[in-house]
Structure 1
Amino acid sequence: MATVGLDKLFYAPITEVATTGDETYGIPVMLAKAMTAELSVELAEATLYADDGASEVVKEFKNGKLTLGVDNIGRNTAQALTGAATDDNGVLISASEDGGNPVAIGFRAKKSNGKYKYIWLYRVKFAVPSTSLSTKGDSITFSTPSIEGTVMRRNKLDKQGKHPWKAEVDEGDKDVLPATINAWYTSVYEPNFK
């Protein structure tokens, strides 16, 4: 179903277990007011040819690119996402050596039926935000930042022995419990396979 909106953009810090690299997630925090979210995915692909034709094709998630258009990236969010630091005068300082830690990113998109699609991307590493500014002319034009991140798979295996990179659910699907939707932003969703 088509989507007609985007809101509730959150991030959750990741702590990695030193011996395994498995992720645990902190409490989700509002990132900014969401304007746009563009997710593109790159696949690793291989084709096995036999008897003069394609016999097997394998396509696996390699990584993705997430570009977020937001109303503002505050000082605390910039620190959390990019590794920038605040000096003793409260000024945000970005250095060439900065390289923030990966975070989980969650958001929702309103569908044309009034329900929502909820998404968590389990591991995203962001670059320094880009900004486009222009002088005021005859009309008012808003200038807002965008930030681009690389989406990666989790280190932690799920109960099926796979490395998930995204969780998504459509509100209102018959097998989706209301508790799943209600808890979406209280913590990063963990796969639940029996």
Structure 2
Amino acid sequence: MANFGLSKPWIAKLNPATNTYSDAFKCGKAISTAVTPNYNEAPLYADNQQTENVTEFKNANVSIGTDRLPSEAAMVMFGHTVAENGEESSKSKDEAGYIGYGFITAEQLDGVKKYRACVLLKVKMKEGEESFETKGDSIVFKTPSLSGTAIANEEGEWRIKSPYYATEAEADQWIQKKFGVVEQCATPEASVDGGTYTAEQTVTLSCATKGATIKYTTDGTTPSEENGTEYNNTISIAATAGLRAIAYKSGLVNSEVMTKEYFING
């Protein structure tokens, strides 16, 4: 695996009580980011030698380099006040809140370019130095740089990584779904549950998302907008097979894949 790209930094306000996100926004364009986990270690010695070593996640140092910080960052990340006209007020008692931080990396896997999204679930950032310089004989760019700490949430999770995707857009949608930016199609449901049967089964599919299209496969492949059969009528399962189905609709994130395994012993 070789990383060679970074893009689409997302920030969202975290409600720690419910582990849900709101007020998500793109945090400019990515320049750099670093995530360094820290661990607590406790060695146990017995009979003059180390017999046990316990390692537990403590937190992670996080740094973000971006070309700009939008006005939403002042409110969501640092608790500042931003008026409708754009005027920003920073008070001594302003307190930074917890956020979710997501970004996309480009990686080379077996010679093929793939994209993967990463979300740090509970982060508190500190405002970095604001540095300004008059224009001279050469041009020098000064860009925002933030640092902070990621910790685990109530479930003990502190980071989630997406599957590998063929396109950056798919990885970006994955982040948006995590932060509640876009709605996801409901997962299709089958009228007959998977299991062992002695006769052919007739299965109907449905989706709770109105107007969604369902595609399915029975050949072991994963259905998608480009792969599978569009569902229009009942499906006959006459021999042992795995039924997989996905739902999609313009403007929404594709559903999770439904999988049902049917074993016909008749």
Q: TM-score under structure 1 normalisation?
A: 0.80
Q: 1:169 aligns with which of 158, 162, 166?
A: 162
Cα displacement string for residues 57-91 of structure 1 (whole angstroms, at most 9, x for unaligned residues): 11111111111000111212221111111257532
Q: 1:30 aligns with which of 26, 44, 49?
A: 26
Pair 1:185 & 2:178 matched: no
| Match in the other structure for 1:123 | 122
Unaligned runs of 5+ in 2: 180-266
The amino acid of 1:30's aligned partner reads K
Q: 2:43 aligns with which of 47, 60, 76?
A: 47
| Match in the other structure for 1:74 | 70
In 1, the alpha carbon distance for the partners of 2:173 and 2:84 equals 38
The amino acid of 2:66's aligned partner reads V
Q: 1:94 aligns with which of 87, 90, 95?
A: 90
- Residues 27 and 187 in structure 1, CA contact (< 8 A), matched pair in contact too: no
Query: Structure 1 60/8 Cα, relative in aligned 2: closer, same or farther at 3 Å?
Result: same
Cα displacement string for residues 7-30 of structure 1 (whole angstroms, at most 9, x for unaligned residues): 01111211233xxxx422236421
Superposed displacement of residue 100, structure 1:
2.1
| Match in the other structure for 2:183 | none
- Residues 8 and 29 in structure 2, CA contact (< 8 A), matched pair in contact too: yes
SS of 2:74's equivalent in the other structure is helix
Superposed displacement of residue 181, structure 1:
4.5
Aligned pair count reads 174
Superposed displacement of residue 147, structure 1:
1.1
The amino acid of 1:108's aligned partner reads I
Query: Structure 1 81/182 Cα, relative in aligned 2: closer, same or farther at 3 Å?
Result: closer
SS of 1:133's equivalent in the other structure is coil
- Residues 4 and 107 in structure 2, CA contact (< 8 A), matched pair in contact too: yes
Unaligned runs of 5+ in 1: 158-162, 174-179, 190-194
| Match in the other structure for 2:59 | 63
Q: 1:85 aligns with which of 81, 101, 110?
A: 81
In 1, the alpha carbon distance for the partners of 2:72 and 2:172 equals 26
SS of 1:10's equivalent in the other structure is strand
Superposed displacement of residue 129, structure 1:
3.3
RMSD over equivalenced CA pairs, Å:
2.3
The amino acid of 1:53's aligned partner reads Q
Larger radius of gyration: 2
Cα displacement string for residues 67-118 of structure 1 (whole angstroms, at most 9, x for unaligned residues): 1000111212221111111257532122222222101111111113421232
Pair 1:111 & 2:104 matched: no
- Residues 117 and 170 in structure 1, CA contact (< 8 A), matched pair in contact too: yes
Write 1 or 2 for the structure with the bigger share of strand.
Answer: 2
Superposed displacement of residue 6, structure 1:
0.4
| Higher RCO (CA < 8 A, seq sep 6+) | 1
